[in-house]
């Protein structure tokens, strides 16, 4: 029994240390200075990795929208999606931009990544881009067997029947499962609404959208055939198109903001930071996220 307590204390200490590190590192999430890729009349906002926080991206959008020298924005998406709240916050900010926005899909622009593309005026995808995955998922880790083996129990005093719904110590009751399903369905319908609004110019009906909004992933070419994207093309093609609709003569020059790297990102790298943030938030969040 003493050995089990020591193991639990060690795991708890590691978990707490990671949480403190993430909280500390979040203070460095502000965007940094302007840099020029090849000059400047267009701006590029990059969405990379799992979307777990909206602040950095929203600050970039606000700065570019208020900059009179920026005539249009290219939204470069390399993301499988992420938590519903941050995705919706970024989407809302994009819809309030008074400049043209062109989406450029990289290797992956799925689920929440595609959700954000629907806020733009025109969507480019590579033929092999992984996109689609229109849907929502809510995960609940369940560890009753493990807890029993290591001798951990939970006693609950609650104010209502469903206050401890989703506990890792036990399985769902039928009533709990129904409630979570209803919540998931509601957030799913919000996604369908966004796709419908974003693809009206392609005359897609809600019924047509729901036929492919079952979580399936699509290639860029398949998405083009199903009218989920406007054109097949590279990042360079999207920049050229954005420059054209912005009235820029010659080759457009791109303004970007180099985000400041958080402490955790410097230690683990951005991909590992996103995965760790995802693990820590898995128990409590709805996700517009592809399982890749």
Residues contacting residue 229 through CB under 8 Å, at least 6 positions apart: 105, 117, 123, 124, 125, 131, 220, 223
90 C-beta neighbours (distance < 10 Å), count = 26
Percentage of the chain with pLDDT > 70? 74
Q: What is the pLDDT of residue 39?
A: 41
If pLDDT is split at 50, 70 and 90, which confidence band does 18 have?
low
Query: Is the four-CA dihedral 85, 115, 55, 24 of positive or negative sign?
Result: positive
Which pLDDT tens digit goes with each residue over 37-94? 444 489 999 999 999 999 999 999 999 999 999 999 999 999 999 999 999 999 999 9
If pLDDT is split at 50, 70 and 90, which confidence band does 27 have?
very low
Q: What is the pLDDT of residue 236?
A: 95
Residue 286, pLDDT > 70, answer: yes
What distance in Å separates the CA atoms of residue 9 and residue 15, rounded to the nearest whole number? 10
Residue 19, pLDDT > 50, answer: yes
265 C-beta neighbours (distance < 10 Å), count = 18
Q: Contact 276/18 with Cβ under 8 angstroms?
A: yes
Q: Contact 210/194 with Cβ under 8 angstroms?
A: no
Which pLDDT tens digit goes with each residue over 123-162? 999 999 999 999 999 887 767 776 677 767 777 787 888 8
Which of 135-149, 184-198, 212-226, 253-267 is predicted least confidently?
253-267
Q: What is the pLDDT of residue 221?
A: 98
Residue 23, pLDDT > 50, answer: no
Residue 191, pLDDT > 60, answer: yes
Nearest to 40 by CA among 13, 7, 78, 67: 67
59 C-beta neighbours (distance < 10 Å), count = 16
Which pLDDT tens digit goes with each residue over 90-118? 999 999 999 999 999 999 999 999 999 99
What distance in Å separates the CA atoms of residue 274 and residue 265, rounded to the nearest whole number? 9
| 163 counts as catalytic | yes
Q: For 2-153+166-289, which CATH class? A: alpha beta
Catalytic residue (choose from 4, 149, 163, 200): 163
If pLDDT is split at 50, 70 and 90, which confidence band does 36 have?
very low
Mean pLDDT score across all residues of the chain: 83
| 159 counts as catalytic | no
Nearest to 63 by CA among 265, 291, 257: 257
| Structural domain spans, the chain | 2-153+166-289
Q: What is the pLDDT of residue 277?
A: 54
State the DSSP code for 228: S
Residue 195, pLDDT > 50, answer: yes
Catalytic residue (choose from 25, 104, 111, 133): 111
Where is mean pLDDT largest: 21-30, 34-43, 180-189?
A: 180-189
Q: What is the pLDDT of residue 240?
A: 95
**Which comes out higher in pLDDT, residue 263 or 216?**
216
């Amino acid at each position: 029994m003493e050995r089990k307590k020591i193991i639990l204390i060690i795991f708890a200490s590691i978990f707490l240390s990671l949480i403190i590190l993430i909280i500390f590192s979040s203070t460095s999430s502000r965007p940094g200075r302007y840099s020029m890729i090849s000059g400047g009349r267009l701006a590029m906002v990059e969405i990379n990795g799992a979307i777990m926080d909206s602040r950095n991206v929203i600050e970039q959008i606000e700065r570019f929208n208020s900059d009179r020298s920026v005539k249009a924005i290219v939204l470069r998406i390399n993301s499988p999606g992420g938590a519903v709240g941050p995705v919706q916050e970024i989407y809302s900010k994009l819809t309030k931009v008074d400049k043209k926005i062109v989406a450029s899909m990289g290797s992956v622009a799925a689920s929440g990544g595609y959700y954000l593309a629907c806020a733009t005026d025109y969507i480019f995808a590579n033929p092999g881009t992984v996109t689609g995955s229109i849907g929502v998922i809510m995960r609940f880790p369940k560890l009753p067997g493990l807890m029993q083996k290591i001798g951990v129990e939970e006693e609950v005093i609650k104010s209502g029947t469903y206050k401890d719904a989703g506990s890792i110590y036990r399985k769902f009751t039928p009533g709990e499962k129904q409630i979570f399903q209803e919540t998931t369905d509601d957030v799913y319908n919000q996604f369908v609404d966004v796709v419908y609004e974003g693809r009206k110019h392609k005359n897609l009906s809600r019924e047509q959208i729901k036929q492919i909004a079952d979580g399936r992933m699509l290639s860029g070419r398949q998405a083009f055939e199903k009218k989920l994207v406007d054109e097949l093309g590279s990042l360079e093609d999207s920049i050229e198109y954005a420059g054209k609709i912005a009235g820029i003569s010659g080759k457009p020059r791109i303004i970007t903001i180099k985000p400041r790297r958080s402490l955790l990102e410097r230690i683990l790298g951005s991909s590992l930071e996103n995965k760790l943030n995802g693990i820590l938030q898995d128990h409590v969040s709805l996700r517009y996220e592809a399982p890749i």
